[in-house]
Amino acid sequence: MMKFIWWSFVKFWVKLAIKLFYRRIEINGTDTYPREGPILLAPNHQNAFMDALIPSVFAPKPIHFLVRADVFKPGFADTFFRSLNMMPVYRQRDGIGNLGKNDEVFEECFKILRDGGTLLIFPEASHLGERRLRPLSKGFARILFGALEDHDHLHIKVVPLGLNYSSYHQSQARLIVNWGAPISVSDYYDAYKENPAKAMTTLRDDVQRRLSEEIVHIEKPWAAKAFDIEMERFIPFYYKRAGGYTETSSEMAFYKEREKSVLELAEESPFLRRLHIYDQEMERRKLRAPFFYIFQKDAGYWVLNNILLVLMLPVFLLSWCLHAPSYLLIKGLLDKFVRDVQFWSSIKLVGNLILFPLFGLIFAVIAAIWSGRPMLVASAVLVFYPLSVFVIRELRLPYRYALTMWRMIFLKWKNPALCSYLREIEKDVIVRYKK
């Protein structure tokens, strides 16, 4: 009972944090997700610990995870991870002598599935921050068929889980979660009894194919770079979706169309070269939105928008000052100690979950002591502090786009030729979108 309460508490706060961390979250395939019976989730693995956090809060039932053993440090880390239904899996790099411990872990996996639970395994075995699916290992297939030994009445489903991020390390990125159509392991069990190796290979290949359909899968590095530029510079603005938590219309079909298009590009394509120039010039001049997005709004809109932003500036700056200590602390730790940027988003998320109540309490105490009216001022701080998260979240992009608008006006005056060239590139991109 206590474990269920702890799990529910953690799930609530992590889910809230994820909804605040990402600008837009799109979830597809919930109608095909199995409502009962044993399930093995097989997600792609591009964003380290975040790939485990996201399904844990959006899946209907609690999930058990296989996680690499080196994170289970003796003491608090081991106790904490196990309290979240995580189990260590040992690799050769963890020491040959430790591989035998996997037998006990696999037996626990068999039990979870036989009891109708949900098990998550990363079939790629390790994470890599690239928009592609690497060859899957057979480890998950061994566990599935092992669970069916003497229990062939079980109807285990494999659910390919596609996790698609617009950015792997920035907050306010965009996330698409695709629950793929379930694959019945029973369909492979007769073949397994005749030829285990062949059946495991067939199941692995089918999961590989189905999972690649749920993600953006681009193996050519120049094509992947083109897609990244479009994701950063064009796609969100083309859809005119700068705000909101969750929307019903899907972008995934459009992503797959763009995947197909960029894969057709040659490495020396003139379009690709112009796209790189566009990206570099926009970055150099700190233009955070494309021209077509900024100038589609008339002058009246920008006048009113700038007036409102000036009026809200004191509230925004106060909110920023309240959260700057936690932001700068986490940023400093990441810059100094964490070289793998794929861990950044999950560390930012968990770090803010820990520091948010701590700094909220500190600010309330300081304000109470400084004001001489402890109850009134502390209460005001504790009310405004969480609201300030929404202030920053909802006003950060409008301030960024307003600054972009002024920079574009200056560029249009100072260098009209460059401005026209960049706008021509944008038109070329949009034409390709409409084909």
Across the range 103-125, mean pLDDT stands at 90
Q: Is 46 a residue whose pLDDT tops 70?
A: yes
Average pLDDT of the residues of the chain: 89
**Position of tokens 């790939």?**
51
Q: Which amino acid is at 430?
A: I
Least confident of 97-106, 328-337, 391-400: 97-106
Of the pLDDT bands very low, low, confident and very high (cuts 50, 70, 90), residue 368 is confident
Of the pLDDT bands very low, low, confident and very high (cuts 50, 70, 90), residue 8 is confident
CB–CB of 120/63 below 8 Å? yes
As a whole-number percent, the residues of the chain with pLDDT over 70 amount to 93
Q: Tally the residues of the chain.
A: 435
Of the pLDDT bands very low, low, confident and very high (cuts 50, 70, 90), residue 360 is very high
Of the pLDDT bands very low, low, confident and very high (cuts 50, 70, 90), residue 238 is confident
Q: Which amino acid is at 183?
A: I
Give the pLDDT score at 256. Answer: 92
User: Token pair of 208, please?
Assistant: 């590989």
Pairing mode of beta strands 86-89, 63-68: parallel
Across the range 23-28, mean pLDDT stands at 91
pLDDT tens, residue by residue, 252-267: 888 999 999 999 999 9
Q: Is 102 a residue whose pLDDT tops 90?
A: no
